[in-house]
Amino acid sequence: MKGWLALAALILVHAAQAAEPHSGYQDASPATRAMQDNDSENPGFLWVQQGESLWSTAPQPGGQSCADCHGAPATLRGAAARYPAFDAGLKRPVTLEQRVNLCRTEHQHAPKLLQESDALLGLTALIGLQSRGMPVAVQTDGPMQPFRDEGQALFTTRMGQLQLSCSQCHDQLAGQRLGGSLIPQGHPNGYPLYRLEWQSMGSLTRRLRNCLTGVRAEPFAADSPELVAIEIFLAGRARGLVIETPAIRP
Amino acid sequence: MNRRRFLVLSGAILLPAIWAPARATPAEVKAAIRRAVGDAPLQPGRVKLDVPVLVENGNAVALAASIDALPGEVRAMHVFADGNPLPNVGSFRFGPRTGQPRIATRMRLATSQTVIAIAQMTDGTCFTDSVDLLVTLAACLE
Amino acid sequence: MVRVLINVPKTARRGEVIELKVLISHPMETGQRRNDMGQPIPRDIIHSFRCTYNNELVLDADFYPAISANPFLSFTALAEESGQIVMTFTDDHGVEQTESRAITVA
């Protein structure tokens, strides 16, 4: 009887752990965590530094820089924690990358920055850093609800030649191993982040494309509504975790 | 030998050659060490090499090497990885303005192997420390 | 010019051992890899790094392709008097870049 109670307690504790969002930081090795913890050893700050110089430089001669409108980057404290966010004018949610590019095309009269370019990673890393330590606070109700629901549907849909859904690995098998790697819960709270495998900084879009090709599925196009929907669902799922940008992951 | 048997055999021979990362031979490792420090015997001790024994990604492995000595007594610290295609990792020469004879950096390791740190003293003697470490393979590669 | 992050204390006490850290934005291409077409990608690394303190040597390093992308290096200097800490590094194209930081020793 005692044994059964202990087992039941263990299962309950386990279930509680599974329900609790768990940052990839906690799964990383002490060496990888140390790399993230110390700003002067975190290579993500090379991109933050580039973001800082772009922030105060007008992309078009005689035009406006980010700083001309926003002031110091610190005025955007909390912004990255709220993205993707609903744009009332466009009547759809936009990601932080898309917001930066909307600023460029609408206010700075400059061409869009390419997805995964060092410039866009630099600006989003700088903006993300301003929210470091703040909880993920993306709206998932109201006008965001249908997009979040679409994201959830995509997250639980089997895809690709391997016929695996995101949820099968990152909900049901999180904490177990695939090859030598721990399967993380797959939270978006550190992006853009420096991945040791990439030997570079990358966006959440790059990570999602990576997962999709991993299950032998055709990746969604950059800027596609599907990717935005998945980002919104992931943000809602990560509620309670804090922003770690620029994080380090293996 | 029929065609199928030839294909199976040649596959069996070729595949390990493709999959196994090229690794320096013991002679190449020895030669690289000799080029750095000459023929002085390598005495274990005094040097402390700090690396994780279990590495989750070989692209950036933190390493710290130090020696229990005054800075003026140490000419250089050399680091080698015996399972990489090229065994040299880095050589770090100290000068009159060095505070303490220690360095830290991050290295690439192609596979599980032994990392060796060698401190070369100003009198030519050499002290060494080494660590065997395990590099796990990532499952989801881009 | 590549991006560099240098961490040097602005002030120190005379005789203090100070920690110097540097991160350099660089792919450190090993020369061991091939591109999608099967052609070898030429080696492109920062192969040497040197740090001086008022023109006296702190550290002189040779980097090999086994040094990680975006190389990080941490080492120490002895603070004796105010002056300049200068870091210079050279890549495989022969391009040399120099960064300097002032330090005040009281």
Would you call A211 a catalytic residue per the annotation? Answer: yes
Across the range B10-14, mean pLDDT stands at: 41
How far is C57 from A147, CA to CA, in rounded Å?
Answer: 60
Contact residues for A21 (Cβ-Cβ < 8 A; gap 6+): A185, A187, A237, A238, A239, A240, A241
Give CB contacts under 8 A, 24+ apart, made by A218-227.
A218/A160, A222/A115, A223/A98, A223/A115, A225/A92, A225/A147, A225/A150, A226/A150, A226/A154, A227/A95
- Residues 6 to 25 of C: which have CB under 8 A from any A CB? 7, 21, 23, 25
A28 min Cα distance to partner chain B (Å): 8
Of B90, B98, B108, the CB nearest to C78: B98
| Distant-in-sequence, close-in-space partners of C95: CB < 8 Å, separation ≥ 6 | none
Mean pLDDT by 10 residues, chain A (250 residues): 51 52 93 96 98 96 95 98 97 98 96 97 98 98 98 97 96 90 94 97 96 94 95 96 97
The enclosing H or E element of C97 equals strand C96-105
- Give me the pLDDT at residue A10, please: 45
B18 has pLDDT over 50: no
**Nearest chain A residue (CA) to C27:** A199
Closest CA of chain A from C54, distance in Å: 23
Q: B125 has which bridge partners?
A: none
Q: Does A43 touch chain C (CB under 8 A)?
A: yes
Terminal C-alpha separation, chain C:
33
Over residues B19-69, the pLDDT tens digits come to: 455 789 999 999 999 999 999 999 999 999 999 999 999 999 999 999 999
| pLDDT value of position B22 | 78
Would you give the distance in Å from CA C58 to the centre of its chain? 12
Q: Is B92 in contact with C59 (Cβ distance < 8 A)? A: yes
pLDDT tens digits along C54-102: 999 999 999 999 999 999 999 999 999 999 999 999 999 999 999 999 9
The answer to whether A214 and A181 have CB atoms below 8 angstroms apart is no
Q: What is the mean pLDDT of chain B?
A: 88
Residue C68 near chain A (CB below 8 Å):
yes
CA nearest B116: which of B71, B73, B65?
Answer: B65
Report the distance separating Cα C48 and Cα C67, nearest Å.
11
Question: So what's the ipTM on this one?
Answer: 0.95
